[in-house]
Structure 1
Amino acid sequence: MSERDEVTVVRWAGHDGDGPAQLLAAYHLRTEAEKGAAVADVTALPERYRAEVSDPQAAFADDFVLIAKRADTPLGCLVVTAPAGGHSEIKRLWTDPAFRGQGVASALIRAALAHTADTGVESVRLSVWAWRTDAIALYERFGFGVTTSWDERNQLVCMERVTA
């Protein structure tokens, strides 16, 4: 990969274009399909997810939103929640399928972990669907381990990485 092909990760400031909206839409549509509840478009998503897509600035107002890009092309996104109770949570990690296997998710996770190190949280948590085995393996490579669930949805795996 040449220097001009490098993936860069930037914090989405909330005012520069639609930011993660298209990436979040793809994430939620794919997730609903994988859960067996496929919907035709964003308007049919559950309200909570529609809100993230239609107004990510409001949905993630207190959070740290990262966008991976190559030149001006958005490749992926990730949200780190604001610290609460000594923990932050990684949510909505998504890489456009056309760019998978090119280090996009790893770059996003590295940036997220650097951010959480600066916030002084005790641990970083995440939840991932059990069928996303590639994502689970990626999280394990970054030091996340399966932990007691804080979310009782069927097939949801909860993971944590202690930062201290």
Structure 2
Amino acid sequence: MTDHREVAIVRWHGRTPSVGDGLSALLAAYHLQTEAEKGAPVADADDLPDRYRAEVTDPGTALADDLVLVALREDDVVGCLVVTSADDGLSEIKRLWTDPEARGQGIASALMSAALRHAAESGVHTVRLSVWEWRTGAIALYERLGFAVTRSWDEREQLVCMQRTL
């Protein structure tokens, strides 16, 4: 097993095209997998709902107001995570995804740790996230990191809402 310390977690500001290409590929994989798990599979990223397709085709614009963290192994993007801008002491974590070939190596944990550090440094007092109930591995990770299930702010069925106070 590869130690996650071989992975660099960096803030992506949309200025590095090669990282942007890797990020787009990870976001496409994330959204395609999610749509399939929801029972609404699509053939490719062009068939995704507009808001998700925008993230894939131009993450620099779609995520311009958010912090985008990417995990790099050498020049390869192997993980990503988005932290929304703080709003009245609250931020949300979205789009945590690790390349399936790089899973089990601590990359998701490293991305989450970096996101929580950033939130604390930004004066955020509460971080929230939502996760599909069938993603039990992700839920277990979030619970290990101190997140607890909370009242839903999203009415989609099978969506688990969690938060952590910093």
Match of 1:6 in 2: 6
2-side partners of 1:13 and 1:7: how far apart? 18
TM-score w.r.t. structure 1 length? 0.95
Equivalent pair of 1:25/1:42 in contact (CA under 8 Å): yes
Task: Map residues 44-83 of structure 1 onto 2, 5 A cutoff.
Answer: 44-83=47-86
User: C-alpha deviations, 1:69-105, integer Å up to 9, x for none?
Assistant: 1111111100000011320000000000001000010
Identify which range, 16-25 or 98-107, moves more after superposition.
16-25
Match of 2:107 in 1: 104
TM-score w.r.t. structure 2 length? 0.94
1:33 alignment partner, SS class: helix
Equivalent pair of 1:75/1:99 in contact (CA under 8 Å): yes
Match of 1:41 in 2: 44
- Identify which of 146, 150, 157 aligns with 2:149: 146
Percent identity reads: 65
Equivalent pair of 1:5/1:71 in contact (CA under 8 Å): no
Q: Which runs of 4+ in 1 moved over 6 A?
A: 1-5
Count of residues in correspondence between the two structures: 163
List gaps (5 residues or longer) in structure 1. none
1:29 aligns with 2:32: yes
Identify which range, 90-99 or 9-18, moves more after superposition.
9-18
